[in-house]
Amino acid sequence: MSENRELAELNDSTSKELIRISQLSTSLLLGLAKRWELPDFDPLNLRRPAFQAAWSTLTHPRRLLAAQWDLTRRYLGLMRYLGLRILQRSTRPAASAAKGDRRFRSEAWDEKLIFDLMRQAYLLTSGWMLDSIARMQDLPAEDRMRIAFYTRQFADALSPSNFILTNPEILETTRREKGLNLLRGFRQLLEDLDRGDGQLLISMTDPDAFEVGKNVATTEGSVVFENEMMQLIQYAPRTKTVYTRPLLIIPPWINKFYILDLQPKNSFIRWAVDRGYTVFVISWVNPDEKMRYKRFEDYMHQGILAALDAIEQATGQREVNTIGYCIGGTLLAAALAWMKVKNDDRIKSATYFTAQVDFSEAGELKVFIDDKQLKSLEKRMQARGYLDGEAMSMTFNMLRANDLIWTFVVNNYLLGKKPANFDLLYWNSDFTRLPETMHTFYLRNMYLENKLVEPGGIEMDGVPIDLRTIDIPTYIQSSREDHIAPYRSVYKATQLYSGDTTFMMAGSGHIAGVINPPAARKYGHWTNDALPADVEDWIAAADYHEGSWWPHWDNWLKSRSGRRVKARQPGDGQLEVIEPAPGRYVKA
């Protein structure tokens, strides 16, 4: 009776999944039929670099023979490992996954020799492919980086962990659940395709588990100013006294500001308020086609400068300290140079979180940025007036494909599991759009031509921008494993500014390196008062410190924040409260 009941329940679950799959498939196919377009030939601009790589290989026969011998040697090591395992003798594997590689973390990979061998054969071959490209020193560095990037994408996609028959964990789950996991996974795949209107938007977390203003972005405060570009949030004090000089945070508009205010336990904003700072944060609007002509300098005028005016009205204080995060930091640097020409000295210190101004070593993001790809992107933006957030998100995810793509493909679509609830991944999936005019200017002048670093290389409202004129105290934060703003790129700013400059390197990456509260006791950071020309020399002489870098920054800033005064409440000054934080704009 028990077996019959289990079989009936399985059949019922299977029937329900098949019905939902059929409904989703029909809807999806109809939608795709309406919007189908032929892709541009060679949209990634790989044809020329690939030809150069092939030519480099053919014209260097010794290198080719050396590569073949290298691969043979690696597989001989694998055969030796196999022989010793058959003889039941302990031995080190011929290849091991890198630290942090979660694809093979299941113990099932070790339990059966066939899966162990498949894993090692894959790691040997993929490692050999990337090492072979690294030896092509006769190729231009950017072409070699592009070939290596897409070779890694190819290798990541072919990992045995990504396929049913070569992943022991998926096989065991399929046997145990009699294939229902695959039906659930296929249905979840169709749901993600439907959610993206034909484009695959992989669910990284349960979107219903979080709500902005309810369990993320919850630090108490009020919107005290707004215009068409942004809302300005003033946070309520959590101390009886505060520093005289307010703190203005300029977050990136590529994402939403609440990465700095996820939950109370990891909110940088809440932590800063607890330290006695009067914190203001810009919450950028999510632009639509009506904002297609907004320029980079419009973000300065209607963002930074408008916020400075509003802060003076709200607090009576003219002088402020600032933080610029990612592109918000790039804008802050450009605005400071503009303000120097205009004799506007309201900003008294600048902190930069993972912000680039010299893009000569901007890392793998440059793989997506050349003249041909930019023309294709500009054509795409012309149709709508903006770059959709899904495209930007996929670009960032490809930089860490194993963690941000394939892990979820396996979990969601092959194991048929729901993704875990994770606030950071919820934020990562809360896409924002980018105005056509601004984004074109930013990519061409910063990433492609690196003009911001040249004195007068760009102009903002006719004012030549010279970063060397920035002479206020500066604190630069970078992250050692940052794949979006590499520390080598961020460090270059230390050689530009003429004021007192502090550089600090945090552990982890672009997000976790910044969002690292002291209570978490994670990662660490490096400091060094000297600023040599080469960042590797800085690292070699740097002192390592356990834990979060936030207290180091606090000690730096509080001496530049004035005396303590009675805490200020939103609405106390000349600006009335518009609505509670986090406001309307962030929810769009």
- DSSP string spanning 407-456? HHIIIIIIS-PPPPP-HHHHHHTS---EEHHHHHHHIIIIIIT--TTSTT
pLDDT beyond 90 at 139: no
**Domains of the chain, start order:** 50-178 (no CATH), 221-362+453-581 (3.40.50.1820)
pLDDT beyond 50 at 311: yes
Task: Quickly state the pLDDT bin for 12 (edges 50, 70, 90).
Answer: low
Of 124, 223, 326, 399, which residue is the catalytic one?
326
Query: Mean pLDDT in the chain?
Result: 90
Query: Rounded to an integer, what distance in angstroms lies between the CA atom of residue 303 and that of residue 307?
Result: 6
Higher local confidence (pLDDT), 170 or 59: 170
* Per-residue confidence (pLDDT) for residue 530, from 0 to 100: 97
* Per-residue confidence (pLDDT) for residue 565, from 0 to 100: 97
Any idea which of 186-195, 308-317, 487-496 has the lowest mean pLDDT?
186-195
Structure tokens at 141: 């560095």
Q: What is the pLDDT of residues 429-440, one digit of tens each?
A: 898 999 999 999
- Strands 320-325, 247-250: pairing is parallel
Backbone angles phi, psi at 539, to 5 degrees: -65, -40
Longest dimension (CA), the chain: 86
Question: What value does the mean pLDDT take over residues 176-195?
Answer: 91
Q: What percent of the chain has pLDDT over 70?
A: 92
* Per-residue confidence (pLDDT) for residue 20, from 0 to 100: 58
Q: What is the pLDDT of residues 19-33, one digit of tens each?
A: 555 455 445 444 544
Query: Rounded to an integer, what distance in angstroms lies between the CA atom of residue 346 and that of residue 310?
Result: 12
Question: What value does the mean pLDDT take over residues 471-485?
Answer: 96
Structure tokens at 285: 């609007």
Any idea which of 140-144, 318-322, 349-353, 533-537 has the lowest mean pLDDT?
140-144
Higher local confidence (pLDDT), 379 or 141: 379
Judge contact between 225 and 231, C-beta under 8 A.
yes
Task: Quickly state the pLDDT bin for 6 (edges 50, 70, 90).
Answer: low
Q: Give the chain's end-to-end CA distance (angstroms, integer).
A: 53
Query: Rounded to an integer, what distance in angstroms lies between the CA atom of residue 230 and that of residue 586?
Result: 9
Judge contact between 322 and 347, C-beta under 8 A.
yes
Any idea which of 30-39, 110-119, 367-376 has the lowest mean pLDDT?
30-39
Q: What percent of the chain has pLDDT over 90?
A: 71
Judge contact between 136 and 144, C-beta under 8 A.
yes
pLDDT beyond 90 at 338: yes
Q: What is the pLDDT of residues 279-300, one digit of tens each?
A: 999 999 999 999 999 999 999 9
pLDDT beyond 80 at 52: no
Q: Does 177 participate in catalysis according to the annotation? A: no
Helix (H, G, I), strand (E, B) or coil at 325: strand
How far is residue 246 from each of residues 66, 132, 280, 307, 318, measured CA to CA in Å? 62, 53, 7, 11, 9
pLDDT beyond 60 at 278: yes
Q: What is the pLDDT of residues 36-51, one digit of tens each?
A: 444 444 556 667 777 6
* Per-residue confidence (pLDDT) for residue 22, from 0 to 100: 47
pLDDT beyond 70 at 329: yes
Query: Rounded to an integer, what distance in angstroms lies between the CA atom of residue 585 and that of residue 588?
Result: 6
Question: What value does the mean pLDDT take over residues 140-155?
Answer: 87
Helix (H) or strand (E) holding 243: strand 241-243
Higher local confidence (pLDDT), 471 or 98: 471
Judge contact between 227 and 440, C-beta under 8 A.
no
pLDDT beyond 70 at 10: no
In the block, tokens 């060094």 appear at: 528
How far is residue 55 from each of residues 66, 152, 154, 168, measured CA to CA in Å? 16, 20, 20, 40
* Per-residue confidence (pLDDT) for residue 55, from 0 to 100: 73
pLDDT beyond 70 at 1: no
* Per-residue confidence (pLDDT) for residue 145, from 0 to 100: 87
* Per-residue confidence (pLDDT) for residue 64, from 0 to 100: 80
Read off the DSSP letter of residue 149: H
Question: What value does the mean pLDDT take over residues 10-14?
Answer: 55
Structure tokens at 220: 């108490």
* Per-residue confidence (pLDDT) for residue 192, from 0 to 100: 86
* Per-residue confidence (pLDDT) for residue 9, from 0 to 100: 58
Backbone angles phi, psi at 302, to 5 degrees: -90, -5
Higher local confidence (pLDDT), 17 or 560: 560
Task: Quickly state the pLDDT bin for 505 (edges 50, 70, 90).
Answer: very high
Q: In this structure, how many other beta carbons lie within 10 angstroms of the beta carbon of residue 415?
A: 18
* Per-residue confidence (pLDDT) for residue 164, from 0 to 100: 93
Question: What value does the mean pLDDT take over residues 527-537?
Answer: 97
Any idea which of 31-35, 259-263, 375-379, 414-418 has the lowest mean pLDDT?
31-35
Q: What is the pLDDT of residues 114-124, one digit of tens each?
A: 999 999 999 99
Judge contact between 109 and 119, C-beta under 8 A.
yes
Any idea which of 106-115, 301-310, 345-354, 557-566 has the lowest mean pLDDT?
106-115
Helix (H) or strand (E) holding 119: helix 113-134
pLDDT beyond 90 at 472: yes
Query: Rounded to an integer, what distance in angstroms lies between the CA atom of residue 54 and that of residue 308?
Result: 55
pLDDT beyond 80 at 183: yes
